[in-house]
Amino acid sequence: MPARVVVAMAADPSSHVNAQSLKVPAISIKPIDIDLSDNDSVLRDDSDSMTSDCESERDTTEKHIKQDTCKEATTPTLSSSQSTEPQQEDEQIAYDGKKLPPPKTIAEVSEGIMEVLARYRLVHQNDINKPWAARPMFRNQVQRFVTRQEPVLLSLPAFPFKSPNKTTKVLGTLPDKGEEVALSHLQGLCSAIKDVYEQGANVYIVSDGLMYNGKKSESFRRHCEYLLTPSTDILGISDAETWRYGEALAKMAIDCGCENIKFLRLPMLLGEDADGPRTEEEYLREVAHFRDGIIDRYLPSGFDVEAHIKKDTDSTLTYRGYIKFLETDLAERPADAEPKSKSQLKKIHEEIAKKMIVRGKAFAASIAQNIPEYVRLSIHASTETTKLSMSLLPQLGRAFTPWHSSLVRAVDGSITMSHARAVPALTHELIFDSRGQPSYFRERSPLFSWPGMDVEFNYVYPTGLVITPRDPSAKYSLQDVHMQKVRALSEACSPVILKNFVDSP
């Protein structure tokens, strides 16, 4: 008996979680055309917005970055050959004989892209009701790409490594469901831009992890001798752990079908081989060279970190944020560590935050000088004078990054981020991935209890739920499925897709 796929939709679309309330592009729920010739067939709607397979291989495209670089915009409007719509004969006449609207101008297309970026923007709490002052600056950047009919390129320094506090904050050392949703959210940004601009967009992730670990280099010692403490690194994360996190993240992007998410390797910032280290051994052998090179080349001579924090508003905000998360990141001290008073710990956290500002300054300068045309994204709240602040996840409540917290799903699919220890076991259960690694927390509900069936419930981005037998060889009959539970789930998080079930036992 062939396997079947059943799609359950909410009768009232407003009854399930609203995508717009989660700051993700709104989607239209449509019937899904499914090829049942293969039990592992890909699920897609006719806009290709729900893709569960991966056809691309890791795109180490740093050596092609220069080809993506934009020049100054000079053309005020799109010519007919530059129209963002496919060219047709007599394209101004529709099939019903009515005139089609003229092609959009460069300014109109650029403004459409800005509307997308505004939906993903992380607004500082003091600016929520204020006009977006930096919008014209970012629109000018975007317009340069549109004028040349090139993909909009965005850079994002992020995804360093998991928090040092594996006891109370995060679930392990490798990327989990939090990073998966974050990557899907970034891909959603690129897809939403493509909806209004044919050339689309690419996000280049530049992991800054190696800047915040490793033994103190001579470069750092020369620049910041007065900040040194007896410890051998900044946050206690090894270079090997940083490498493994980054490699797992890149693989996750491939597995999730995030075709517009690229990874820019650090040698590119030093003008060296763009491919960089290909193995962990090579990375560990060369990482100190990369770290020293960025600090030596890009940190301003005589840089005074304390003066910089006082006069630069963005650095002040970042510095305060660092101190806040260091309180929990470094809370798990070794048992044999010398006891510290609150004032001593506060001083240590302030010194570490200053070190991070110093290395972050050099790292940011390396990005600005090597890829200046890219729209610079940031995970930190800022004045947006040089970078566009955005939230990495469509989350409710306080904004956390996935490497400083754990993902929590409600039954309706809505997301909150929380320190792992703060999630109550009475109301939530820990969900493991296919490798047996802890992945995220899910709200407990009888809707997830299917007697006689061992099934998996996988939430998809931006909304929906796929239910499959955990064992691919299992032959569960649709006749035995509790359809009232399916209906209840679809009212909470539509659509619900039952995949690889059979018509009869």
pTM over 0.75: yes
Query: For 363, what's the count of Cα atoms within 13 Å in the CB-facing half-sphere?
Result: 25
* H, E, C per residue of 268-282: HHHCCCCCCCCCHHH
d(CA 497, CA 9): 9
List, for the chain, all residue ranges whose pLDDT scores fall below the cut of 50: 13-75, 80-81, 84-90, 216-232
d(CA 355, CA 306): 10
What pLDDT sits at residue 93? Answer: 62
How far does CA 316 lie from the centroid of its chain? 24
pLDDT tens-digit profile of 191-228?
999 999 999 999 999 998 988 875 544 444 444 443 43
What pLDDT sits at residue 114? Answer: 97
User: Which two three-digit tokens encode residue 171?
Assistant: 């679930």
User: Which two three-digit tokens encode residue 271?
Assistant: 């003008």
pLDDT tens-digit profile of 158-170?
999 999 999 999 9
The greatest distance separating any two alpha carbons of the chain, rounded to the nearest whole angstrom, comes to 82
Q: Helix (H, G, I), strand (E, B), or coil: what is residue 407?
A: strand
What pLDDT sits at residue 371? Answer: 93
Other beta carbons within 10 Å of 26? 12
What pLDDT sits at residue 213? Answer: 74
What pLDDT sits at residue 251? Answer: 96
